[in-house]
């Protein structure tokens, strides 16, 4: 038998001066991968990434501060949770979420769009399954248990980034053909999602999804008349929800007249005020020990007690800086899909943040909504960082092209 000739480990590469140099395949591959990473690092919005990572760090410290309160409340005679139980769990989910964020941020824009659309479709199927086989937790049926792993998935959390991008994709169709009824199609999408969420019930997420839909429809060039009609329809839906949807009735009544939900919000406000301007110091707050969801819904109040109102102000400013940064990034963007998708993802993140903050400030009915990138969370943390990854992928741009004069770009 003839011996098989081993594959060559080197390849010829022209050097530009008429000669050929032999380069090792492995070294060429490593250089190629390194070049891709360098290009990716130059193209992504590093300022936006820095702001997001700042919130993540603040969140990790906040969860460490809130973990003892939640651990003590959830400990039983059979099982005692350590003071930092939720902090260590949060770090694990955070590590997974950061890996997912980087992986999503490295995707080409078109690939990120396709993946988000598939994700949205899968999570809508998940929402359909929730009332049938979902796992009820704390009076709400919003989670799906993944086989025998014991891990629960909340489809509505992963639907948020997928829905924003899928809706932007549908609304951008009008550029190709103005006759396509993109607004009625978008109304059908939000009606389906809203109906599935109200069945759980999840009134807070429904409000957030409707808000994102309204922002994107407004950005897509809706006429003034239709804007007024949409606002009137939104007000009508809110009135009907109050009259015929018990979950909305309960939360709104508790906000205006008092009740168990209002008592929680009032306690959160008292916790927030207890820290004053500079806070009591890490693990020195005592009002947080009475908060029912210190590490999730009311972590903003815990941060206020232990790190002061100054830190709360910093958090608000960072969220505002994220919104402003994305808007500045989109100032010279001429692709409608990119404009709408980035706006939708930012509106979803900022909207959830300010709803949570307003609840903690006793200015909004209790929603059971976490503070994005700061609160403890499992699938919600991964989903939020996935949304950030999509945002970084969609807003990527060549820095050299952005600096070039328009004449050199052929415009």
What one-character-per-residue DSSP string does 126-164 give?
HHHHHHHHPEEETTEEEEEE-TTS--EE-HHHHHHHHHH
User: Any alpha helices (H) in 21-135, and if so which ranges?
Assistant: 25-43, 46-74, 85-105, 109-133
Domain ranges of the chain: 43-74+92-396
- SS percent in the chain: helix, strand, coil, step 5: 70, 5, 25
**Tens-binned pLDDT, residue by residue, of the chain (411 aa):** 444 444 445 555 555 555 655 555 555 545 566 777 888 888 899 999 999 999 999 999 999 999 998 888 887 756 778 889 999 999 999 999 999 999 999 999 999 999 999 999 999 999 998 888 777 766 667 778 776 666 778 888 999 999 999 999 999 998 888 888 888 899 899 989 988 988 877 888 888 999 999 899 888 876 656 666 766 766 777 677 666 666 666 666 655 555 445 567 778 888 888 888 988 988 888 888 888 888 888 999 999 999 999 999 999 999 999 999 999 999 888 889 999 999 999 999 999 999 999 988 888 777 678 899 999 988 889 999 999 999 999 998 765 544 444 433 333
Please state, in angstroms and rounded to a whole number, the distance separating the CA atoms of residues 213 and 218: 8
Does the model's pTM come out above 0.75? yes
Beta bridge partners of 10: 24
């Amino acid at each position: 038998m003839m011996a098989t000739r081993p594959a060559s480990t080197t390849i010829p590469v022209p050097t530009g001066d008429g000669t050929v140099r032999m380069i090792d395949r492995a070294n060429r591959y490593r250089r190629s991968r390194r070049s891709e990473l360098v290009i990716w690092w130059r193209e992504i919005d590093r300022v936006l990434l820095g702001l997001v990572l700042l919130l993540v760090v603040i969140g990790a410290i906040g969860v460490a501060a809130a973990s003892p309160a939640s651990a003590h409340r959830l400990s039983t005679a059979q099982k005692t949770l350590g003071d930092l139980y939720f902090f260590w769990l949060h770090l694990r989910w955070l590590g997974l979420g950061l890996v997912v964020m980087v992986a999503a941020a490295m995707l080409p824009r078109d690939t990120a769009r396709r993946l988000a659309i598939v994700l949205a479709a899968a999570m809508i199927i998940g929402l359909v399954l929730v009332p049938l086989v979902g796992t009820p937790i704390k009076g709400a049926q919003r989670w799906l248990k993944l086989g025998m792993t014991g891990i629960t998935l909340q489809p509505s959390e992963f639907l948020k980034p997928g829905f924003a991008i899928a809706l932007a994709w549908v609304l951008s169709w009008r550029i190709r053909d103005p006759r396509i009824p993109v607004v009625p199609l978008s109304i059908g999408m939000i009606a389906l999602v809203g109906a599935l969420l109200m069945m759980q019930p999840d009134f807070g997420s429904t409000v957030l999804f409707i808000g994102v839909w309204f922002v994107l429809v407004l950005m897509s060039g809706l006429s003034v008349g239709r804007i007024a009609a949409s606002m009137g329809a939104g007000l009508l839906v809110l009135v009907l929800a109050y009259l015929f949807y018990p979950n909305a009735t309960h939360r709104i009544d508790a906000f205006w007249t008092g009740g168990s939900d209002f008592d929680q919000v009032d306690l959160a406000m008292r916790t927030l005020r207890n820290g004053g301007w500079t806070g009591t110091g890490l693990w020195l707050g005592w009002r947080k020990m009475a908060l029912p969801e210190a590490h999730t819904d009311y972590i903003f109040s815990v941060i206020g007690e232990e790190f002061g109102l100054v830190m709360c102000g910093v958090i608000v400013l960072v969220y505002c800086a994220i919104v402003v940064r994305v808007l500045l990034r989109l100032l010279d963007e001429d692709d409608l899909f990119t404009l709408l998708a980035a706006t939708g993802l930012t509106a979803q993140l900022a909207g959830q943040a300010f709803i949570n903050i307003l609840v903690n400030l006793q200015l909004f009915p209790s929603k059971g909504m976490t503070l994005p990138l700061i609160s403890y969370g499992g699938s919600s943390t991964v989903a939020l960082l996935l949304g950030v990854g999509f945002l970084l992928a969609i807003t990527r741009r060549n820095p050299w092209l952005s600096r070039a004069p328009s004449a050199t770009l052929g415009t």
